[in-house]
C-alpha cells in the first residue's frame, strides 16, 4: 500500500471507533457489566512470569494510578518507567541506546515511517497476545494499517485522543458552531494563549484552508513532499509570527498545560484533551471542545524493542492492559479514550459527559487524523517551529 492509502485506512478506522465509542455510551450503559465479567482474568491464563522486571519508555500521563501498582501487585513484576512528554524525546532516547535498556516503548501511530527507519523494534508474536481479541477492531486496524512491515506487526493500541481548544470557562464563553483554530487569535486573547509551536502552525494551516486563504486539502498537501510542505509553511509561519504577541506560553507536557490554565494566566489554548478534561473532571473551570476544522486525532500504542531483555514480562503487561477494566482505568485517569471493547461502559458518568461535550454535533465526522509522517517531515516541521519560537 502507498502511504496515502494507509492514511486513508487509518482515518476510517479511528473515525469508526470514535463513533462506536459515543454510540456505546448511549445504547449500552450499565448493561455491559455482565458481559465484561465473562471476559476472564486480567492476566493470560498460563502467565510465564511471576517475578522479574519490565522496563518501559512511556508517555508521562498515559499510565495513571493504579495501573502500574496493580500490575506489580498481581504479578510480582517490577515496572521500571521512564516517562517522556514528546515523541521526539522518545525517539532521541531510542537512538542514543539503540533500544537497549527498554523492553517496550510508546510510539504514536503517525510516526510509523520514522520508527521503521530507526530499526530498533521487533515484531510482536501475536500468539502471545491472547487479549488482543479484546481490542476494538477498528483501533487494531489503525495500528495494522501503517505498522505492518516485513510480515509482522510492530504496534498495538493503548489509547486515543485529540488536540483541540481548551479554555477557562470563568473567563470566556465559546460555542461549537463558531469555535475555530482561528478563535485563538481573537483580539481579546492577546497575551493569553498557549500551545505547542508545531501544533499551532498546523492549526493555523487548517484555519487558513477552511477560510479559503491557503487551500491545502486540509493540510494533507504538506505531507506530499518537502517542497509542498515548505511552500505552505512559509505562509503559515508569516501569520504565526504576526500573532506571536498572543502567546502566553508554549507548553511541552501535560503538567505545564495544566499549570498554564490554573496558574499562569492562560485563558485559551490548543492542547491535548487529556489534561484539560482531567481538570474539568476535578471541578476546575476548564473545558475542551473540537473546533469546526476538526480535532487533530492521534492513536498511541506499544512497540517492543529489538533489544528487549524481558520479553515474557512485556507480553504479560500488554495482556493486562488489553482488558476492559484496565483500559477504562487508563481513560478515566488520563482523560483520553479507551481502545478495548466494553471499557467505555466502566467509565464514570462525568467522564462520559465530558466526552459528549468535547465532541458535540458533527464533531466526530470532522476529526482530522494525523497521517503517517514521511521520514523528512519531522525535521522540517521542527525548523519552522523553532523559527516561530524565536520570532
Residue 15: band (very low, low, confident or very high) from pLDDT cuts 50, 70, 90: low
| Burial environment of residue 51 by CB neighbours within 10 A (0 to 12, 13 to 18, 19 or more) | exposed
Domain ranges of the chain: 3-160+297-364, 163-296+367-390
Q: Is 288 helix (H, G, I), strand (E, B) or coil?
A: strand
Q: For the chain, how far is it from start to end, CA to CA, in angstroms?
A: 40
Q: Model confidence over 108-119: pLDDT tens digits?
A: 999 999 999 999
Q: What's the DSSP call for residue 308?
A: -
> Same CATH topology for 3-160+297-364 and 163-296+367-390?
yes
- List helix spans (H) across the chain: 3-27, 33-37, 67-75, 87-97, 112-118, 137-147, 197-210, 226-242, 254-263, 273-281, 311-321, 324-334, 349-358, 377-390
Check residues 38 and 17 and name the one with the higher pLDDT.
Answer: 17
Average pLDDT rounded to a whole number, residues 282-298: 98
Distance of CA 95 to the CA centre of its chain: 22
Per-residue model confidence (pLDDT) at position 52: 94
Per-residue model confidence (pLDDT) at position 51: 64
Residue 86: band (very low, low, confident or very high) from pLDDT cuts 50, 70, 90: very high
Per-residue model confidence (pLDDT) at position 182: 98
Pick the CATH number of 163-296+367-390 from 3.20.20.70, 3.20.20.450, 3.40.190.10, 3.50.30.50: 3.40.190.10
Please tell me the least confidently modeled range out of 36-50, 100-114, 260-274, 279-293. 36-50
Per-residue model confidence (pLDDT) at position 184: 98
Q: Model confidence over 225-260: pLDDT tens digits?
A: 999 999 999 999 999 999 999 999 999 999 999 999
Phi-psi category of residue 23: left, alpha or beta, with phi > 0 → left and psi -120 to 50 → alpha: alpha
In this predicted structure, the answer to whether residue 321 has a pLDDT above a threshold of 80 is yes
Per-residue model confidence (pLDDT) at position 125: 98
Per-residue model confidence (pLDDT) at position 24: 40
- Beta-carbon count within 10 A of 191 CB: 11
Q: Are 324 and 341 in contact (CB under 8 A)?
A: yes
Calculate the dihedral angle through the C-alpha atoms of 369, 274, 363, 295, rounding to the nearest 10 degrees: -40
> What homologous superfamily does CATH list for 3-160+297-364?
Periplasmic binding protein-like II (3.40.190.10)
pLDDT, mean over the chain: 90
Q: Model confidence over 153-185: pLDDT tens digits?
A: 999 999 999 999 999 999 999 999 999 999 999
Q: Which three cell numbers stand for residue 129?
A: 497476545
Average pLDDT rounded to a whole number, residues 124-139: 97
In this predicted structure, the answer to whether residue 89 has a pLDDT above a threshold of 80 is yes
Per-residue model confidence (pLDDT) at position 26: 32
Residue 269: band (very low, low, confident or very high) from pLDDT cuts 50, 70, 90: very high
Q: What percent of the chain has pLDDT over 70?
A: 87
Amino acid at each position: 500500500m502507498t502511504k496515502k492509502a494507509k492514511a486513508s485506512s487509518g482515518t476510517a478506522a479511528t473515525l469508526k471507533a470514535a463513533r462506536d465509542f459515543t454510540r456505546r455510551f448511549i445504547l449500552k450503559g450499565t448493561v455491559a457489566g455482565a458481559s465484561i465479567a465473562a471476559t476472564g482474568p486480567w492476566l493470560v491464563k498460563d502467565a510465564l512470569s511471576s517475578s522479574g522486571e519490565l522496563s518501559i519508555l512511556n508517555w508521562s500521563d498515559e499510565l495513571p494510578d493504579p495501573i502500574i501498582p496493580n500490575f506489580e501487585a498481581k504479578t510480582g513484576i517490577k515496572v521500571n518507567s521512564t516517562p517522556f512528554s514528546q515523541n521526539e524525546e522518545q525517539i532521541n532516547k531510542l537512538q542514543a541506546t539503540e533500544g537497549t535498556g527498554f523492553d517496550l516503548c510508546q510510539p504514536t501511530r503517525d510516526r510509523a515511517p520514522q520508527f521503521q527507519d530507526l530499526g530498533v523494534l521487533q515484531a510482536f508474536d501475536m500468539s502471545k497476545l491472547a487479549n488482543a481479541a479484546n481490542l476494538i477492531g477498528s483501533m487494531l486496524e489503525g495500528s495494522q494499517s501503517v505498522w505492518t512491515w516485513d510480515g509482522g506487526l510492530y504496534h498495538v493500541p493503548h489509547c486515543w485522543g485529540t488536540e483541540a481548544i481548551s479554555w477557562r470557562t470563568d473567563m470566556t464563553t465559546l460555542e461549537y458552531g463558531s469555535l475555530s483554530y482561528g478563535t485563538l487569535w481573537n483580539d481579546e486573547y492577546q497575551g493569553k494563549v498557549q500551545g505547542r509551536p508545531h501544533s499551532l502552525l498546523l492549526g493555523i494551516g487548517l484555519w487558513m484552508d477552511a477560510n479559503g486563504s491557503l487551500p491545502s486539502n486540509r493540510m494533507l498537501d504538506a505531507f506530499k513532499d518537502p517542497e509542498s510542505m515548505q511552500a505552505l509553511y512559509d505562509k503559515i509561519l508569516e501569520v504565526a509570527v504576526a500573532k506571536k504577541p498572543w502567546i502566553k506560553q508554549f507548553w511541552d507536557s501535560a503538567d505545564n498545560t495544566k499549570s498554564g490554565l490554573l496558574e499562569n494566566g492562560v485563558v485559551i489554548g490548543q492542547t491535548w484533551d487529556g489534561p484539560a478534561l482531567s481538570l474539568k473532571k476535578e471541578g476546575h473551570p476548564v473545558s475542551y471542545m473540537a473546533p469546526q476544522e476538526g480535532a487533530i486525532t492521534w492513536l498511541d500504542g506499544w512497540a517492543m524493542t529489538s533489544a528487549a531483555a524481558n520479553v515474557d514480562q512485556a507480553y504479560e503487561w500488554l495482556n493486562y492492559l488489553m482488558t476492559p477494566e484496565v483500559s477504562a482505568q487508563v481513560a478515566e485517569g488520563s482523560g483520553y479514550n479507551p481502545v478495548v471493547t466494553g471499557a467505555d461502559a466502566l467509565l464514570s458518568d462525568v467522564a462520559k459527559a465530558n466526552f459528549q461535550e468535547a465532541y458535540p454535533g458533527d464533531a466526530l465526522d470532522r476529526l482530522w487524523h494525523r497521517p503517517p509522517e514521511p521520514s523528512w517531515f519531522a525535521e522540517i516541521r521542527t525548523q519552522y517551529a523553532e523559527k516561530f519560537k524565536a520570532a
